[in-house]
Structure 1
Amino acid sequence: MKIVLYFAMIITATVASQAHALDRPNIILVFADDISARELPLYGSSVWSPPTGGNTSDVAFRANTPALDQMANEGCWVETAWASVVCSPSRAMMMTGRYAHRHKWWNNKDKGRYLDAKGKPTVWPLYESSPVLIGHVAQRAGYATYWAGKTQMAGDLRRFGFDQGCFTPGELSDKDNPYTDFKMYEKKVDGTKLLFNSDTDQQIDSYLQHGWYWKPHVRLMKHAGNRNGFQWWPHTLESQAEFGLNTYGPDVELDFIFDFMERQQADGKPFFIYHTSHLGHDAFDWLHPESKSKWPGTPVVHWDGKGYTRDQPSVTGDEGVYDDHGTITSPGIHHHVNYLDYQMWLYRNKLTEMGIADNTVLIFCADNGTSGYGKNSSDRQKGTHVPLIILAPGMTKQGRQDVLVNMSDMLPTIAEMTGGNVPSDYEVNGESLVPFLYTDKSSHREWVYGYNGDDQIIRGDLVMKDGKGKWWDVSTQPDDLISFPEIKDWSEVSEAHRTQRDELLAVLPQFDLHASEHDAPGIELPALAAKPKKQRSRTKNPAGKASKAKVSSGAGERKSLFSDNFDGRELPGDDYTIARSAEGAWTISDGVLYGRQTNDDHGAVIRKHMDFKDIDIEFDFRFNGGTRFNFVLDDQNEKSVHAGHICRVSLTPKRISISDDKNGSMNLEVRKQRQDKNLNADAKASLQTVLAATQASAAVQLDEGKWHHARIQLKGDTLSAFIDGSEITRLKSPGIDHPTKTKFGMTVNGSSIDFDNLNAFLVPR
């Protein structure tokens, strides 16, 4: 069935009277970033995220949220609220009340296109695909509207229905900011595009971004005195004098929001606040450039049982060397959630101070699952399950609500609360929460839906179909909120389960338009290059997978150092580190590790930390669209080489190469010569001699889609590479005999290359 909501007066007299029990209520919608429901203690999960991402049950990394708990108990909290799996499509769902079959934002890097005024194919802005946005609804009802925080929207931000705004980076359109050097820049070095920290001018391993936490980029939209355009903040002599290392972006957002609220109260006008906080999103830590954590620390806050106090940040230093004097927390998403709790406490205090708490609706939710756990995942509800807490004076619901809610429901809810007009022939996929919140109605909707490219995810109260095509029994809630029983035999579940399966399958075709209607309707655009599609089902040790050949090491019995067959989980976990630039690049499905390049400027990096000198490593691999991978052996403490690289084996479908990186291409002096375009002929000849002496290669034929078995043996000054039991090439070079190595792992280029059965052995000398 097609869900089209018609907003006229088609509501009962009871609902109408209760919905309008509030006198044109103010509405504050706080949309946090990358926070799974499990990160809030309220949801009772036995597992949450540690500072480096993944899973932990260590209470030291669990958030403390007394203000949100109080808000949930006085209002209500929804057990199963869904967004989409990643930022852009979730924000599109929120702002439009529609799914991707209408707005065409399928994934962050997979958005529908249209022809702009110059005839150029570009991303279809939401105000073009969906001209009735959440801001427009409130504006047309006579509300003053304000948008603060992260934008991440294509097009003109002034066309989204907001009177004013205070934005921290959602794109990279702020390179000219004169007030902060917490930003990054790219430049080519020896033909390779590299990323640099503007604060230190040092190369970094991250994704291109500008600072939104400490010493943030802040741009104001249509602020007083500049009502038609944008301007940088700080914009006054007073604010410029106060701006610096102690300035925290989330504080700036809230200050401008509170100022807007006060001005609207003075004018006697109701307001709608759309606060899209960055809190929860991982970021480069400019104050600690070497940090391996995903989430930089926040200002320190203290809860005394009645309220919060906050330590004034005190940061000193420059050029990457900073001292926070104990005024900033350690890293971790739990501190981000704690700081959101502090801000929600500030919101409630402000509403009380202004005397409007009894006429203001306060909503707290998030856009998708946590980075390193659920973000970008179509597995079960990892990417879609987010927190939702609503405090609406006069509502009939309190505490936990075992109902289903989509973020698409926010637009029709705001429309009904404000009296905003949505044309009767305009398709909206959300359903207003007003009847549920203000009456004795015990349920809200029959199913919730999410999407990730061409993956569709849908669940009811009994069964769920995830983006991998698997079915799950969701009739009970597991302790970790995700370990539902998989349904493999439908005869073993109830008839009600089977009936709901059929109902959900009947819903999906209307939204399944990724292949047939990917872009804006009515125009002809050349198709984008299709990404290789992963197989939907795999079995362990499938036919065609290479068996482990017995290869004599020539050095006696090998002692096992490490073994991983990637069974029983969906992410690599704490045994590995993944570069920030490889967010979402490494996943596990059916016991296979999948690596795909997600950053255009660098391959996807994964490393296992381990101290060793000699080592013998075996693994299975398959080229599945990817073009190349390096297996590197590094010493992170060695400063004479770039990024600690000691030696590597590089594999493409047609060639295997071995490199002594310490004495060769990654040696800092050699790299300097390679990057020098003014080398004379003698120097160039000398450089080529060095490079030739530190490399070896051989041709191979590795078929796409076929499993092969690799063995990489490092002994003394010799590195050897075997494929399917045969030695292909070896290199004897002094740099390989570096006395210490601290990590090994893969760097993948392209999408994707698959791995399994990783084993490492110590080789006796």
Structure 2
Amino acid sequence: MKSRIVKHQGPWVIAVVLLAGLVDAKCADSGNGGMSGSRPNVVFFLGDDQSRFDHSAYGNPTVPTPTTDALSKESLVFDKAFTGQAICAPSRSMLYTGLYPLRNGCFINHTKIRAGVKTLPVYLEELGYNVILAGKSHVGPAAQFSWSKSFPPVENEGASRPGIPLDEIDGFLADPGTKPFCLLITSEFPHPPYMKSTPYTADDVTLAPFISKSERSLKNAAFFYANIVEKEKELAAVLKLLEEHEQKDKSIVFYADDHGLFRGKFTAYDSGLNVAFMVRWPEKVKAGRSDALVSFADFVPTMIELAGGNPPQELDGKSLLPILENGGGKIHDYVYGVTVNQGILDRHVFPQRSVHDGRYHYIHNFNSLERIKRDESEGKEIHPFLKMGAEKHKDLPEEMLFDTQSDPHEMNNLAGDPKLTEIKQRLKSELFRWMREQNDYLTESGSVPFLQVGKRFALDQYDAELNPIPKGLVGCLKGKTINPHDATAPKADR
């Protein structure tokens, strides 16, 4: 508060001046046009396994997404929103912690966050909110995700997956109580398996250019469209309930997908990491589009600030309120991506890390065949599992660089272009700086370790269909794997 000097005035004038100063200070503190501390109700609808390119709002001319298309016309639509890992549990854990996967500890699917990591329900309940999860969870441990209420998915007759619990959502919105709420509605669609039938044919679908137009690909896309329709129906039902219970104008609505699917899931491409993301808040957030570089890590600090708290400095994300208020602006210079590939059904060793500046996207492949051959030429002994992982991606070099402005589907690797050497080196330096900050277990020239995962997904666990490894490799990693949480713990904790 600025000091003011008032001469020859009575006590009542001084009191008025001081009061005016306090009002000025309070207005200055609120900031962001009153959004900070405004404590609205919040609804976040999360789709499962849908690429940004599989939305009409993002340019696909044939995909059946009428609900998200209509929502986009009322929302601020983000063109450059990113998750940090294109796989379910890590993406959701990042959304709910404000930390990238390596820091929160969940960078392998079907695993838990690190002990002591604070989560969205904890932050918001401390600020007087109820935080409800309605639908798919896929995060843990339960003790650290202390939802005020949790409504599990329900049987969905005739559908390929369970549905969102609409009756419970309806009941809650009819009587939400006196506290503001954050309602997370997490669909299981359009994640496979696909519906038994589809009204769509090969002539109805649009494929990204990196997908071959084979009969199988076209058929898969036609069935994928049927799954998308199920998610669109769920979202439409939720938006209708908000209107019926007079919540539309009082609630800020977020829509996003956890990550992409085709040449997206388990990869570091934009088709996996660059997600659909839109925000609707009538009379508060102006509808339009933003090219601001934003991250799933930004949701937690955004919610904390909306609720009237101060986001911790140690979070990886930043509040989106300046962008929501102004329709644009910049909060990040870079966003980052992680890929592991151990601990999944199609288990193998091919870790990736990436950095994106909004235009150029640099990806480093740590177990490329190129690197394997270089190590062999230097006389290094290469473990069979490393060779097998490299062979699965034999066409991917150690470094990839894409200009996503001219090449949005990342078809043309520019890493070897001498004209872009300076850009590549800048991004590469930034990536390895970030990896050190995140306590990554990988380094540029160090070995690629084997990670401890559940027995079902272990590299040396024989599976006739999913992991038909030579008998000589069964059980060969006993005592040779590292604990993921220990390997990425802050150095002071090791």
Q: CA deviation at 1:435?
A: 0.8
CA distance 1:129–1:348, shift in 2 (3 Å): same
Aligned residue for 2:225, secondary structure, equals helix
Q: Are residue 627 (structure 1) and residue 470 (structure 2) matched? A: yes
Describe the superposition over 1:652-687 as per-residue Cα deviations: whole angstroms up to 9, x where unpaired: 89xxxxxxxxxxxxxxxxxxxxxxxxxxxxxxxxxx
Distance 1:11 1:107 in 2: 44
* One-letter amino acid matched to 1:627: P
Q: Which amino acid aligns with 1:104?
A: G
Match in the other structure for 2:66: 66
Which residue of 511, 519, 534 maps to 2:438?
Answer: 511
Paired residue for 1:472? 401
Answer whether contact 2:173 2:245 (CA < 8 A) is retained.
no
Per-residue deviation at 1:377? 1.6
Residue from 31, 35, 40 that aligns with 1:15: 31
The DSSP-based 3-state class of the residue aligned with 2:99 is coil
Corresponding residue to 1:258 among 170, 193, 200? 170
Whichever residue aligns with residue 77 of structure 1, its letter is V
Q: 2:225 aligns with which of 323, 334, 338?
A: 334
One-letter amino acid matched to 2:71: M
Partners of 1:529 and 1:442 lie apart in 2 by: 40
Deviations 1:215-271 (A, max 9, x none): 5xxxxxxxxxxxxxxxxxxxxxxxxxxxxx6897315x122122112221xx33321
Q: Distance in 1 between matches of 2:181 and 2:270?
A: 34
Change (3 A) 1:475 1:86: closer
Q: Given residue 455 of structure 1, which amino acid in structure 2 is its aligned partner?
A: Q
Which residue type is aligned with residue 34 of structure 2?
Q
Structure number with the higher helix fraction is 2
Instruction: Tell me: CA distance 1:429–1:385, structure 2 relative to 1, closer, same or farther (3 Å).
Output: same
1:135 aligned to 2:121? yes
1:323-349 CA-to-partner distances (Å, cap 9, x unmatched) read xxxxxxx97222222222222222222
Change (3 A) 1:246 1:105: closer
d(CA) in 1 for partners of 2:26, 2:414: 40
| Mapped partners of 1:279, 1:485: distance in 2 | 31
Q: Does 1:435 align with 2:421?
A: no
The 2-side partners of 1:406 and 1:450 are apart by 10
**Corresponding residue for 1:393?**
282
Cα distance in structure 2, aligned partners of 1:626 and 1:10? 66
Equivalent AA in structure 2 for residue 432 of structure 1 = S
* Counterpart Cα distance in 1 of 2:308 and 2:99: 19
Q: State, as a whole percentage, how many aligned pairs show the same letter.
A: 20
Query: Matched residues in 2 for 1:299 and 1:431: separation?
Result: 41
Superposition deviation, residue 451 in structure 1: 1.0
Paired amino acid for 1:404: L
Alignment gaps of 5+ in structure 2: 1-24, 200-220, 341-350, 366-397, 474-494
Give TM-score scaled by structure 2 length.
Answer: 0.67
In structure 2, C-alpha distance between the alignment counterparts of 1:443 and 1:344, rounded to whole Å: 29
Query: What is the letter of the counterpart of residue 346 of structure 1?
Result: A
Is 1:296 matched with 2:185? no
- Which ranges of structure 1 fall in alignment gaps of 5 or more residues? 1-8, 46-58, 112-123, 169-211, 216-244, 284-294, 301-329, 517-527, 533-584, 586-595, 606-624, 629-651, 654-765
Return the offset for 1:603: 2.7
CA RMSD of aligned residues (A): 3.7
Match 1:603 to one of 444, 462, 465: 465
2-structure distance, mates of 1:598, 1:485:
35
Pick closer, same or farther for the CA change 1:494–1:391 going to 2, 3 Å. farther
2:256 maps to which of 336, 357, 365: 365
User: 2:135, 2:186 within 8 Å by CA — same for their partners in 1?
Assistant: yes
Distance 1:23 1:249 in 2: 35
**8 A Cα contact 2:297 2:317, kept in partner:** yes
Q: Does 1:27 align with 2:54?
A: no
> Residues 600 and 382 of structure 1: is their aligned pair in 2 closer, same or farther, counting only changes over 3 Å?
farther
- Tell me the CA shift for residue 158 of structure 1: 5.4
SS at match of 2:128: coil
Q: Distance in 2 between matches of 1:508 and 1:12?
A: 37
| Residue 249 of structure 1: aligned partner | 162
The answer as to whether partners of 1:361 and 1:390 remain within 8 angstroms in 2 is yes
Q: State the distance in 1 between where 2:320 and 2:274 align.
A: 18
Change (3 A) 1:14 1:270: closer
Aligned-partner SS, 1:101: helix
Using the TM superposition, give the Cα deviation of residue 356 of structure 1 relative to its aligned residue in structure 2, in angstroms: 2.2
Q: What is residue 43 of structure 1 aligned with on the other side?
A: 58
Query: How far is the alpha carbon of 1:352 from its aligned partner?
Result: 1.9
Equivalent residue, structure 2, for 1:488: 415
TM-superposition CA deviations, 1:639-663 (whole Å, max 9, x none): xxxxxxxxxxxxx89xxxxxxxxxx
How many residue pairs were aligned? 378
* TM-score between both structures, scaled by the size of structure 1: 0.45
* Contact 1:450 1:456 (8 Å CA) reproduced: yes
Contact 1:137–1:421, Cα closer than 8 Å, also in 2 = no
For the residue of structure 2 that corresponds to 1:376, the secondary structure is coil
Bigger Cα Rg: 1
CA contact (8 A) 1:598 1:604 kept: no
Residue 373 of structure 1 and its aligned partner are, at CA, apart by 2.8
Q: Which amino acid aligns with 2:191?
A: H
How many Å apart are 1:374 and its aligned residue?
A: 1.4
After superposition, what is the alpha-carbon deviation per residue over 1:159-201, rounded to whole angstroms, capped at 9, x for unaligned? 4131111123xxxxxxxxxxxxxxxxxxxxxxxxxxxxxxxxx
> 2:145 is matched by which residue type in structure 1?
F
Q: What residue number does 1:102 align with?
A: 103
Shift of 1:531: 6.4
SS in 2 for 1:451: strand
Q: Residues 395 and 438 of structure 1 are in contact (CA less than 8 Å); yes or no, is this contact kept in structure 2? A: yes
CA offsets 1:13-32 (integer angstroms, 9 cap, x no match): 57344314x95211011122
Q: Please list the CA deviations of residues 513-547 of structure 1 after superposition, one character each: whole Å capped at 9, or x if unmatched.
A: 2259xxxxxxxxxxx98269xxxxxxxxxxxxxxx
> Closer, same or farther in 2 for the Cα pair 1:254/1:11, shift >3 Å?
farther
Matched-pair contact (CA < 8 Å) for 1:63–1:338:
no
- List per-residue Cα deviations over 1:610-629 (Å, max 9, x = no partner): xxxxxxxxxxxxxxx9426x
Task: Please give the residue correspondences for 1:724-743 in structure 2 after superposition, counting only pairs within 5 Å.
Answer: none
Tell me which residue corresponds to 1:406: 295
Please give the alpha-carbon distance, in whole angstroms, between the structure 2 residues aligned to 1:213 and 1:25.
Answer: 31
Q: Tell me the distance in 2 between the aligned counterparts of 1:141 and 1:133.
A: 13
Aligned position for 1:273: 183
Asked if the contact 1:462–1:500 (Cα under 8 Å) also holds between the matched residues in 2, the reply is no
CA distance in 1, matches of 2:416, 2:159: 58
